[in-house]
Structure 1
Amino acid sequence: MHPLDQFRAFTALIDAGLSEDDISARFFVSVSTVRQRLRLASVAPSLLEIYGEDGMSLEQLMAFTVNENHARQEQVWEQLSQTYQPSAHQIRRLLTEDAIPASDRRVRFIGLDAYVEAGGYVMRDLFSSDQDGWLQDPTLVEQLVNARLTTIAEEIGAEGWKWIETAIDLPYGCERGKRRITGTTVPLSDEEQAKLDALVEEYDGLGEQYQDGGDLPDEVDARLTEIDAGITALTQRPVTYDPEEQARAGVFVSLSHDGRLRVDRGYVRPEDEPAAEGAGDDDSQAGGIPSSGPTVSVGGQVQTGEQADDEDDAIRPLPDRLVSELTAERTLALRDVLANAPDAAFLALLHALCLSVFRSHVQAGCVQIGVTQAWLGNAAPNLRETSWSQSIQERHEQWADRLPSDPDELWSALAAMAHEEQMVLLAHCVSLGVNALFEANKGYDGRISAHGVAQRLAAADALAGVVGLDMAEAGWTPTVDNYLGRVTKPRIIEAVREAKGDATAVLIEHLKKGDMAREAERLLAGTGWLPEPLRLPQAEAEPEADEQVADLPDFLAGDGQFDQHEQHDAYAVAAE
């Protein structure tokens, strides 16, 4: 019997109403083994068939259990099956590339239990313990980290510092140009000194008694741990600072590589140095603490005592998560509109081929030009319900039903198509490779960089211009759920002002955040207003004729060459 038959038998018995304990007793295996077999049976059916035909090892199959998304499992296998023998590690890495491992210092800092209690989901495979896994909600992790850092910063600020700068990673050299003040270590009292001497004497005595190197009894090992903790508490003495110096200095708070808190106190900025003698006694440059408390900065964002982010007048950058959601919808819309523009799709494909030929990009195999589909996953809610997604799926199913599954028959079917049909099919295939998704850069990890994302979005803008995509005409409209309820009040007012004018924007300035968002949704309906990530790029003014000729290479400046200012550049960037 193949192991797959056992997996399916366990599943059938569960469906029949038997419990895991019943199955365990019937097959003489442990309950944990039954659970593992049931978990393996939950892998995508197509992958189970491959495993049943010995096209995949058990270790590889077990790696797929880390992610329950069948479509993503199949996509990863199709991507890796081109290699000689993909390892379980490669499979697991791709399935969890958008998640945060439990070993990450941010997770160590907040604790895995705190993430789960806040509603976060942890992906685990059959190799993972309760303290292992991958956290699937990076946004929630960031929120929990920032919340705890804010609490810690406020506690440190109560010591009397002027400012607290907090971040997971502070900029390299952030302390440069700042004067470091020194404090005085609080000495031990006579009682504390006596206690420390007694602990040291006891520790040394136990060390001499068990110096033979044998295993320590459990009670002795526990006592040594207690003594070590007591010595540490007594020797790590608090430091006091001169109140006047402390009132003009600040503190850096960050995380070390293992998730422990790092606190560096006593840095004075140049602008907070004492005023020169005779500058005026009423000058406030002496560095006093504001009446509202110290200035707390978390991740580069200044926090106030009331946390009134929505109430200040500054228009802050859009949250990374929101930009990702908006560009995910734009990616689907671009795919849909490109599928209906065969000429643009053909040009995009031709440009990609030219890059491969003339830039010496060598690929193994025979004409291995493929479509790499960016997995949008949970980048935005309800993506499957959008009109663009439904249009893509319907078109894909129609072609899938029509095209033969046998590779040899596929050659004949494609050759028999009219040119117009071939172009339509080409456009559909190329459109699935569109990736206009914004991804927040959390530090270069070998997979994504800020420069790469910027190039991708620039190419998406050019492609949108080529196909004439207008997200408003395509059906997107701002609502409380997809935008207005996710941004600050100044952003809402700015949107209404851009769409309806100053007079209308003034009418909603007095409203609370929720009421303002709902009223803005009503006012913006039908106006065609779009946030920046969804707007069609504006065409730049054409250069003068003389400038065109001057910018052309000599061998292209002669007669018979096409004009540089036409859509050639836009097509080229779009295809890239």
Structure 2
Amino acid sequence: MTRQAQTAPTAGKAVIQTGEVLEIALDKLKASPRNVRRVSHTAQDIEARAASIRYKGLLQPLVVEPEVKEGGDPSGYYLVTIGEGRRQALRLLAKRKLLSKREPVRCVVDTLNDPGEISLDENTSRRDMHPADQFEAWKDLAERKGYSAEEIAARSGVSPHVVRQRLRMGAVAPALLDIYREGGLTLEQVMAFAVSPDPERQMQVYAQLAPHQRQTYAIRRAMTEAKVPADDPRARFVGIDAYVAAGGALLVDLFTENGEGWLEDVALLDRLVAEKLQAEAVTLREAEGWKWTAAFLAYPHDHGCGRIWERPLPRTPEEEAQRAALYAERDGLIERYPDLADLPEAAEARLAEIDGELDALADTYGFDPQEKVRAGAFVVLGYDGEARIERGYVRPEDEPQAEVETAADGMNPEPDEGDGTGEDGEDDEPGEIEEPLGEANAPISPRIRADLTAHRSTALRYALAQDPDLALVALTHALLLRVFRGVGGYASCLDVRLGSRHLAADGDGIEDSAAARANAERHEAWARQMPDDPEAYWDFVVGLDADSRMGLMAHCVSLSLDAVRGWDNRPMAWKHADRLASALDLDMSDWWSPTAERYLGAVTKGQIVDAVTEGVSPEAAARLTGLRKTEMIEAAQPQLVAARWLPTCLRTPGRPLPWAQPSGEARATALGGGDGAGAPGSAGPPQAAQVRNEAA
């Protein structure tokens, strides 16, 4: 029913009709003290209203009442009962000089209704439109009017990013939006479908996933399974800009804070990676003088090549003379001041200078040019998105030809001397046929030689068991031949077999982990000292001091360790690995951290909550409830890393757990930092990369 305009009494003064529409100057409008909204409009809301008014004008008039003085006389101002947000938006436009302070504003006068009551109705009786309706309306506006995201943003007072988000949501398959309207999908699930603007793929994923499988992360993963994440090593190696410049399509997730993205043209990406790796391989071959270089996306473990290693580079006579003079000067200072505690300041400073100069003259390593002419290098894409160079590989056809051993060595097969039977197969009777004298220096038969050396082998076994030190030398020698030369049986009389599981097949990116890098550095440091000739390995091992020999043997033995709990069932081996970890007091938090890439992104939200409950506190875990998985990981990762939390299979039996220590101070230390050895990217404990007596 339309209310008829009524007259409000004003004690003989000017009469204002209720329902009358007035054009009132902006500077004559005031906020009403009887407006029930106490929480102010946000700056973002005011900005959006101002943009709408600027481009489309004031769509709804303000509802006002005249302001009166204490005596009842009108003050000439009007109080805004409904439309305070629009008034503030108009004032913002006036402040920016986009309209006058005296701009006439269309207002409806209401002196009949209670201002507080109609203000309450204004703020409670209306209902916002459903988000799906809003998304489709924005999409229609863009398509029908041809507005860009930037233009819509300017006309609506929101950021272009928000516009793109809503337009992407409007591009979701209409059937999915209808399900969303009916409550069959949440907003987060619709956002996951909107990662890719392909309605057909969206419907395929919806049909493929059962209702209980439609978690947000599962939908997003299915929508992008044929694409390459922007943080993939290939994408980081090539660079997003180079990929886009080559015509590659990039899909950006508009609904994550960090703008997660995917590269859609996988074939193009792989081609760009291969071309860049090949270019680096060519540059490496020309710059360093290798016979060949080869580029691979991953390390070719089946390459079948031998290996050469760096050797100490020869010093010039001047460098040798300088080293000798420095050593002599240092020895003279030490002899002059046998008690280093009483060393004068000047002498102490000079000793420090001498040590620095000797360090500068320390051994430098490089490849022998004569060996490089038959060797090559692999250029491999590393897990960190950088090219990794593996030098010193020798193809089988480039290996030096081994010398053929002569008959004097007793290695050539000999004619069969017979087994005591005649040509007709009958047994020779003693004395019937006189055995020929034969040659005195003729080699003995293989059968007799085997019989004799079997007796020698058993005697050697007894003697070797009586000499543990020499047994250690022999074992280390056999291990070295297998580890550094790829040979064993024909170069050592010990039948010691050494295998090494390819851990990279089970651990993604393990070759770039802190432990793997430390192992590789130690291996290279020992390899630099190995002789070129396998026959010289025995003398090399004998010449080592006891500590170096033990360290070298431990290195070789460590490469055979396999504690992977895969599909094969080896319960006794796994128990042995636990006992070995306990004996070594292994703390895996020095080498591994629960990051999104290593653990959290692969487990369920429930497992993440359980980890935080155990490693941090139940209160911290409760704060994760209701978060999306990406948000949950972002919140949980720093807490779990700081607590040095580990999954059960990485814990060392009998070793105290840092997060479970009863001492509050110890727990605070675990949660508060420390030296950060377990943080992502940490190189681990520095002692892990040390090699004992490298100069031996």
TM category, shorter: 0.3 to 0.5
TM-score by length of 1: 0.37
Q: Which has the larger radius of gyration?
A: 2
TM-score by length of 2: 0.31
Higher RCO, Cα 8 Å, sep 6+: 1
